[in-house]
Amino acid sequence: MSKSLIIVESPAKAKTINKFLGSGYLVKASFGHIKDLPKSRLGVDLENDFKPQYEIIKGKKKIVTELKKAARAAYKSGGNVYLAQDPDREGEAIAWHIAEEVNGKSGHVYRVLFHEITKNAVKEAMANPLPLDKKKYDAQIARRILDRLVGYKVSPILWEKVKRGLSAGRVQSVALRILCEREKAIKAFVSEEYWTITGEFSGHLPPPFKAKLFKINEKKAALKSRDEAYAVLEDLKGQGFSITDIEKKKTQKNPYPPFITSTLQQDASRRLRFTVKKTMMIAQQLYEGVELGGKGSVGLITYMRTDSTRLSPYAVEEARRFIKTKFGEDFLPSRPRVFKNKKTAQDAHEAIRPASLDCHPEAVKPFLTSDQYRLYVLIWNRFLACQMKQAIFDQTRIIIEGDGKSSVKYIFQATGSIMVFPGFTILYSEEKEEGRSAKDEETLPPLNAKDNIKAKDIIPQQHFTQPPPRYSESTLVKELEERGIGRPSTYAAILGTLQAREY
């Protein structure tokens, strides 16, 4: 009986896949890369088209020997070798290097891509093996060579001019420059004083409400000093106010797209206070498989290194059925939502989502660590929310006018909104997404245009302009992505190095 060999990156993934495929396959792990450029020299032939000089990584020779032995046994039994590393450029490079060592020219070495570690996905991938993708491999080599050239050529300058132990990197150094430019802007910032004025008003019916001064004689209110602010107070003292305009309209808030790598990193940082490195580590665990009691090891999410908001038709239909059953038809839009990718997206893999809605967070919670559960809930909620209806608000804007003793017109504005229909926000609230604490909107009483209202108090408040904030991991990832610097899959390593070097 033939027995084929499947080689993956990690033992966790090997265990999960082995359970799905049974005795006809032997699944072994390479424990990541088996080859790399040498540590002790440049390892790039500058005189020969930048040819890389890869070698077996120190400590990996035993693993390579075991993989070769297993491959020979597979060929001898009439089986094949399947390389099932992660479905990205890095995974392709690992697969290519393994193929070189296990007789990749034999015609019995194939590439399989698991976008999610579920039984159906694994079996479908095994039924449709592919050749190795040289273009993807070459792209990874080019990036690795550039990393090496920048690191080996620039780092010695840092050792000489700054101190030993520092390093430069193709993306890392650009990220460091962004941090330095922000720090220069903070140090150069000169704070300026300004004042705001808030009126506390009451109409014919409660409750009282607040409105801010925003125009003086049709020009934006710009009060630079205490004297200017208190001159306004004196001018308004004892004067009457009336409502000149009330604008009411319904507004809608659309759901956010499903997670890609960078938005997952940013949201986990804001909501869960996870570092980028921690987010990717936990996402990898959820992707590779978690032991779920009697079900064994199950992959809970799709591949977590992606720049695409695309969702499979099956996943969308599964979400729509779940929403209809759990929340009712009122929360289900008439058609599935489709989100546009950025022009720079490679679109190799679909968005990050639960691998199956059969694994509800509460059902799998007993088998997850606290951090695994929290990240899984975040991914679950964002995925379902992206296929729900908009949130609808009744928004009111009230314009209040007061004439000063000097005949200057002072215009105040009050805004308030009431949620009419929660839509997707029952799962994924805007306030949390934007990193703000929940804050109640101003509650406005029943009012009509031309109503006279009373000013209970006029309150001045001093402020000072603030310098731009220092970057957090979340905001630095966002900045790198917006500038097209690096790839989301490398952000964790870049940020980790910047912090490890104490830059």
Cα torsion through 190, 191, 194, 198, rounded to 10:
150
β-bridge pairing 44-45 and 81-83: unpaired
Whole-angstrom distance, CA of residue 404 vs CA of residue 236: 5
Q: Which tokens hold the place of 482?
A: 């917006």
Whether 303 sits among the annotated catalytic residues: the reply is: yes
Q: Which tokens hold the place of 64?
A: 């390579």
Distances, alpha carbon 279 to alpha carbons 253, 268, 320, in Å? 28, 7, 28
Q: Which tokens hold the place of 386?
A: 């992206």
Cα torsion through 182, 187, 190, 191, rounded to 10:
80
Residue 381: φ, ψ to 5°? -65, -40
Among 25, 54, 82, 303, the active-site one is: 303
Query: Is residue 212 within 8 Å of residue 229, measured between CB atoms?
Result: no
Instruction: Tell me which long-range contacts 462-469 makes (C-beta under 8 A, separation of at least 24).
Output: 462/193, 462/195, 462/226, 462/229, 463/193, 463/194, 463/195, 463/196, 464/191, 464/192, 464/193, 464/194, 465/191, 465/192, 465/194, 466/191, 467/185, 467/186, 467/189, 467/191, 468/182, 468/185, 468/186, 468/189
Whole-angstrom distance, CA of residue 335 vs CA of residue 325: 16
Residues with catalytic function:
303
